[in-house]
Amino acid sequence: MLTGRRIVLGVTGGVAAYKAAYLARRLVEAGAEVRTVMTVSALEFLGPQTLAAITGTQPAVEMFRQPSVSPHVEMGQWAEAVVVAPATAATISRIANGLSDDLLSATILASQAPLVIAPAMHTEMWESPATRRNMALIRRDGHVVVGPGSGALAGGDLGPGRMSEPEEILAAVAALFAPGLLAGLRVLVTAGGTREPVDPVRYIGNRSSGKMGNAVAAAAARLGAEVVLVTTVAGPAAGVEIVEVETAEEMAAAVWERAKMADVAVLAAAVADFRPAQPSGRKLKRAAGPPGITLEPTPDILAGVAAMADRPFLVGFAAETGPVAEAIAKGKHQRVDLLVANDVERDDSGFGTDTNQVSLVTPDGMVEAWPVMSKDEVAGRLWARVAAMLPGRES
């Protein structure tokens, strides 16, 4: 899988550092040559001799106590991929802001190799505004983010922030070098909530952040697909063609044109069902009193793709506020190949969150409920399922 590949594994100071030992073992077993860099705080959680025994080389820890004159430059140039697992909030901040005040962050800054980051921290730290900003910068720079998952954390807490399992991180690293699960496929994804103008200033919209659709597009690109993302909330990712739109009408035109050339379409956008029939060309004034707004239906983008004579494999998303039975009915009515339903009333699922709890609904009405996990994890599992349903593909 990774025969002959040169991997730098960075280990930072979190309880999840114990998983780094197993990840190192799996990388070596996959054929990679692995060098490790440990932060000083990582030494409090994992002994360096453990990694030395697994990889055959001593971990590098400090910038100025190494045989090499420039250890960060040497390792950065040597690496074909850099993996940081676990990545603490402090290290994520360094990466996002281009700091180089320890050997690991300096190595990352000195390397042009792809970077895979597996965050791990308490829920409060993961959900803090600072970490959210830093993660947005990291994703915008095109780095691969794996997790975090949701589950038991240090101290007995439960919630998002759990480091992804080594097997999932290994798969993300392997995807950097292999054609991938979706190699040769043309994928179309939609994301974000549409904005339907009331006047040049105001609009009718919804709370969709576009995070789920962006995660689906990024995961498809990592797995080797040729990806087009039609979105109202651009979230650039490596290997993804971005088509920015604003209204349902614009999204429909972009999707229906590109769906003709797609093998798979995943319509994750939250499209407004109605729009003002006659938006004002000038800003409406308070002094004129409340306006009377007549609404009309927007184009049904999903139905339009489903009705195509030679349509792609079609995955729909249903943001519901009630029982999954409504999503089952929608899936049958819309004739999708797979429907992803989530209850947006949950605090840990739906609009604006980094996690999601979804249920897959098949055309025959079978429902498979997934646990709460990060949207990146949902995207990865979704593509594995789609690949298993496509002729000639397997997960």
Tokens read off for 177: 């070098």
Of the residues 97, 134, 206, 214, which is catalytic?
206
How far is residue 197's CA from residue 280's CA, in Å, rounded to a whole number? 8
How far is residue 199's CA from residue 119's CA, in Å, rounded to a whole number? 42
Which residues neighbour 261 within 8 Å (Cβ) at sequence distance 6 or greater?
186
* C-alpha atoms less than 13 angstroms from C-alpha of 202 in its C-beta half-sphere: 14
Which residues neighbour 377 within 8 Å (Cβ) at sequence distance 6 or greater?
147, 149, 164, 168
Among residues 102, 28, 98, the alpha carbon closest in space to that of 71 is found at 102
Q: DSSP class of residue 296?
A: E
Among residues 367, 368, 382, 364, the alpha carbon closest in space to that of 325 is found at 367
How far is residue 129's CA from residue 148's CA, in Å, rounded to a whole number? 16
How far is residue 382's CA from residue 315's CA, in Å, rounded to a whole number? 10
Tokens read off for 20: 């780094």
> Could you tell me which residues are beta bridge partners of residue 35?
8
Does the annotation mark 206 as catalytic? yes
Yes or no: say if 189 and 228 are a contact pair by the CB < 8 Å rule: yes
Cα 8 from chain centroid? 22
How far is residue 147's CA from residue 132's CA, in Å, rounded to a whole number? 14
**3-state class (DSSP) for residue 263:** coil
Catalytic positions, written as ranges:
206
